Structure 1
Amino acid sequence: MTIAHHPVPAHASLFGPLHGMARLLPGVLLSAGIGAIAFGLQLIETALFSHPWIEGLVIAILLGAGLRLFWTPSSLWTPGVQFSAKTLLEVAVALLGATVSGAAVMALGPVLLLAIVGVVALAIVGGYALGRAFGLPPAMALLVACGNAICGNSAIAAVAPVIEAEGQDVAAAIGFTAVLGILVVLLVPAVGALMGFDATKVGVLAGLTVYAVPQVLAAAAPAGMLAVQTGAIVKLVRVLMLGPVCLVLGLMRSAKGEGGGEGAKGPKLHHMAPWFIIVFLILMGLRSAGAIPEVVLPPLQAGVTAMTLAAMAGLGLMVDPRAVVRAGPRVAAVAALSALLIVALALATIVLILPA
């Protein structure tokens, strides 16, 4: 049978990309709209309480998951929602590298820097072991461990594409670490007062244990400005661990030969280190070298925040909340124990390293 070949119109190649963008538009607009509502609610929190107790990122994923509870997106919305949850998130993580500078980090001194790295590493290993002991799948255990050890939602969001975690695992991990993040903010000032810590020690405790940067500032503020400044710098070092951790996870995943088989030619670069982590590290290096002007940082940070809010909303829309609830008790127990582990490691670091 002869197959007729019809000539392709010259304008078809021009409309192809436009058609693809049009398919993404409804879902992207929906995700962005939910993210904007979440940001508005965070602003209301800030106006009422002087700082947000629940981050806009958490509100966005809760709104998306809440909507999904009553409505399942059709094929009209799905492509853009998936794009928001994955591609927008990867771009946001990549651009985040431009906001991180290594200058203030070195002021902490080599001993404390190594201690922070050690706390993060032990918290990840210990948290993962707890997760597996409670019967969590490897990806879920790793998400909870990294969220507790590094920077909560941002770490979970960055690690998820590296280990190819399921959307419902990401949502559950973010949900439980969000609740714990608020509790840790309340716990830090009480523990600092109980232990008789000075401002520097309270700052280190906040920086080592609290998840989000705004929450670190809120936790350290009762001890004064020195505590706030110290907490911010220690927290920055934890955030800097995100790139190397994702790189190591990518290398480990590649070493296990996942996605390989007979005839495989070995690990590809994007499996060892996803493109967005490579860009993150490059931009961080450029920022540290002074190649990125300070004037571009505020709009860049605003753009990263906007993309991450839309990504979290998209992630929520992709998740069946019933599945999150079913995963609840074990994930909650592992998240709580992981949080207690990093608090214990932080206290040990303060007692052993900082002078009395």
Structure 2
Amino acid sequence: MKSQLFYLKMMKKLGGRKILPGLLLAVSVAAVSKILAIFLPQLGAATLAILLGILLGNTFFKQPSLAIGTRFAESKLLECSVFLLGATVTAQTIAHIGTKGVLFVLLQMSVTIIGAYLIGRKLQFSETSSLMMAGGNAVCGSSAIASIAPVIYADEEEKGQIITLVNLLGTVMMLTLPFLGLHLFGDNLIEKSALLGGTLQSVGQVVAGASLLDASVVQFAMLFKILRIMMLVVVVFLFEKFMQKKNPEIIADQKRTGTKRKLPLPWYVLGFVLFCIVNSLFKLPAIIGQSAHFISNWFEITALAAIGLRLDFAKFMKEGTRFLSYGLAVGILQTIMALFFIWLIQL
């Protein structure tokens, strides 16, 4: 009885029946993808989920009523999947990345931030838009933009425009970088993972792009991505100080309102790290790792199906050439510099 009441409360809090249509659709696409993968093992369930989701989302299932559920599947289920992924990773796994991997992430993030900001200002985008574009591409897409926007006093219209642009850019890179990495690096797991985990914008895009290759790339690409997300606290702090220096009136406003910023590090990153530490220090029962892997895989496939369902190609046509030029320039910069740093550091 208590479990039923808890379930009902959770469903009410999350939007109840409004979530179900889109969520059930994403689960159904994931299930169909799992079945098709039996007959098409060379593609795999993850790739099939994305492709099937894109096909259905741009044809039969464009109803706005599905958006709440697919958004929930894309974000919350993927967050849980990343958290559970920590049970399958140990310190020994992370050691494969090493100090070179950390250096790669720091260099790539620095160049992305500086480059995206300067390109934005050159194209006459506002200070705040350029900073959001820089942070969104350098760290973790929409989540980073949501954390950065308040501290630089960006308005909602600018925020929405940049989120759309970053997601469009991430979609293009998600569908192209895996094949570029496969062509350039072949069987080199770390280099392919660094390219995807070090450049793709959102967690979902990293998982989706890496899934087009194999499960090992997903695991290692997520390690690079986690390193980037853990830098979000630093990026938000530096952006806030940068804007305060250029606009001293912000300091006075913060003192007047007493505004305090909380650390923006996502819960699933902390959970991933904690799970990884426990898994490294103690020999967990095999059933825990197996269960975590099974649930994480289902959540991941369902989230990827939702990503496909929410990928609206019509949005590509609605954005102006100035916005698309900005996105294209930043994407090219990220890709070229990632390849250069991978070569320079010799990952």
TM-score interval, smaller chain: 0.5 to 0.7
Question: TM-score scaled to structure 1, two decimals?
Answer: 0.62
Matches within 5 A, 1:214-229: 215-216=209-210
Q: Which residue of 2 aligns with 1:159?
A: 144
How many Å separate the matches in 1 of 2:307 and 2:222?
26
Q: SS of the counterpart of 2:43?
A: coil
Q: Which residue of 1 aligns with 2:20?
A: 29
Report the Cα offset of residue 50 of structure 1. 0.9
Q: SS of the counterpart of 1:103?
A: helix
Q: Which residue of 1 aligns with 2:260?
A: 267
Q: Which residue of 2 aligns with 1:5?
A: none
Which of the residues 234, 253, 278 maps onto 1:248? 234
How many Å separate the matches in 2 of 1:105 and 1:252?
27
Give the letter for the 1:241 counterpart: L
Q: Deviations over 1:302-350 (max 9, x none)?
A: 4445556666777899999766642264554444433433332243334
Task: Find out whether 1:185 has 2:175 as its counterpart.
Answer: no
Give the letter for the 1:33 counterpart: L
How many Å separate the matches in 1 of 2:211 and 2:302?
25
* Structure 1 residues 19 and 185: alpha-carbon distance in aligned structure 2, compared to 1, 3 A threshold: closer
Matches within 5 A, 1:5-16: none
Q: Which residue of 2 aligns with 1:299?
A: 291
Q: Deviations over 1:203-256 (max 9, x none)?
A: 44422223546755866x9xxxxxx97x67763541231431333345457766
How many Å separate the matches in 2 of 1:206 and 1:54?
17
Q: SS of the counterpart of 2:64?
A: coil
| Identity within the alignment, % | 17
Report the Cα offset of residue 171 of structure 1. 5.8
Give the stretch that moved more between structures: 182-191 or 324-333: 324-333
Give the letter for the 1:209 counterpart: L
* Structure 1 residues 57 and 120: alpha-carbon distance in aligned structure 2, compared to 1, 3 A threshold: farther
Given that residues 171 and 316 in structure 1 are in contact (C-alpha distance below 8 angstroms), is that contact kept between their aligned partners in structure 2? no
* Structure 1 residues 84 and 122: alpha-carbon distance in aligned structure 2, compared to 1, 3 A threshold: same
Given that residues 86 and 272 in structure 2 are in contact (C-alpha distance below 8 angstroms), is that contact kept between their aligned partners in structure 1? yes
What value does the CA root-mean-square deviation take over the aligned residues?
Answer: 5.0
Which of the residues 119, 128, 140 maps onto 2:108? 119
Which of the residues 93, 109, 131 maps onto 1:104? 93
Given that residues 54 and 311 in structure 2 are in contact (C-alpha distance below 8 angstroms), is that contact kept between their aligned partners in structure 1? no
* Structure 1 residues 81 and 232: alpha-carbon distance in aligned structure 2, compared to 1, 3 A threshold: closer
Matches within 5 A, 1:29-178: 29-40=20-31, 42-43=33-34, 44=36, 47-48=39-40, 50-51=42-43, 54=47, 56=49, 60=53, 69=62, 71-73=63-65, 91-92=80-81, 94-127=83-116, 129-130=118-119, 133-134=122-123, 135=125, 137-138=129-130, 141-142=133-134, 145-146=137-138, 155-156=140-141, 158-159=143-144, 161-163=146-148, 170=163, 173-178=166-171
Q: Which residue of 2 aligns with 1:347?
A: 339
Q: Which residue of 1 aligns with 2:247?
A: none
Structure 2 alignment gaps of length 5 or more: 150-155, 201-205, 245-249
Which of the residues 213, 235, 255 maps onto 2:221? 235
Q: Which residue of 1 aligns with 2:275?
A: 283
Report the Cα offset of residue 72 of structure 1. 3.5
* Structure 1 residues 131 and 49: alpha-carbon distance in aligned structure 2, compared to 1, 3 A threshold: farther
Structure 1 or 2, whichever has the larger Rg, is: 1
Given that residues 26 and 70 in structure 2 are in contact (C-alpha distance below 8 angstroms), is that contact kept between their aligned partners in structure 1? no
Q: SS of the counterpart of 2:92?
A: coil
* Structure 1 residues 352 and 59: alpha-carbon distance in aligned structure 2, compared to 1, 3 A threshold: same
Given that residues 207 and 234 in structure 1 are in contact (C-alpha distance below 8 angstroms), is that contact kept between their aligned partners in structure 2? yes
Given that residues 97 and 190 in structure 2 are in contact (C-alpha distance below 8 angstroms), is that contact kept between their aligned partners in structure 1? no
* Structure 1 residues 79 and 339: alpha-carbon distance in aligned structure 2, compared to 1, 3 A threshold: closer
Give the letter for the 2:274 counterpart: I
Give the stretch that moved more between structures: 81-90 or 175-184: 81-90
* Structure 1 residues 128 and 317: alpha-carbon distance in aligned structure 2, compared to 1, 3 A threshold: farther
Given that residues 131 and 239 in structure 2 are in contact (C-alpha distance below 8 angstroms), is that contact kept between their aligned partners in structure 1? no
Given that residues 60 and 313 in structure 1 are in contact (C-alpha distance below 8 angstroms), is that contact kept between their aligned partners in structure 2? yes
How many residue pairs end up in the alignment?
Answer: 315
How many Å separate the matches in 1 of 2:228 and 2:279?
16
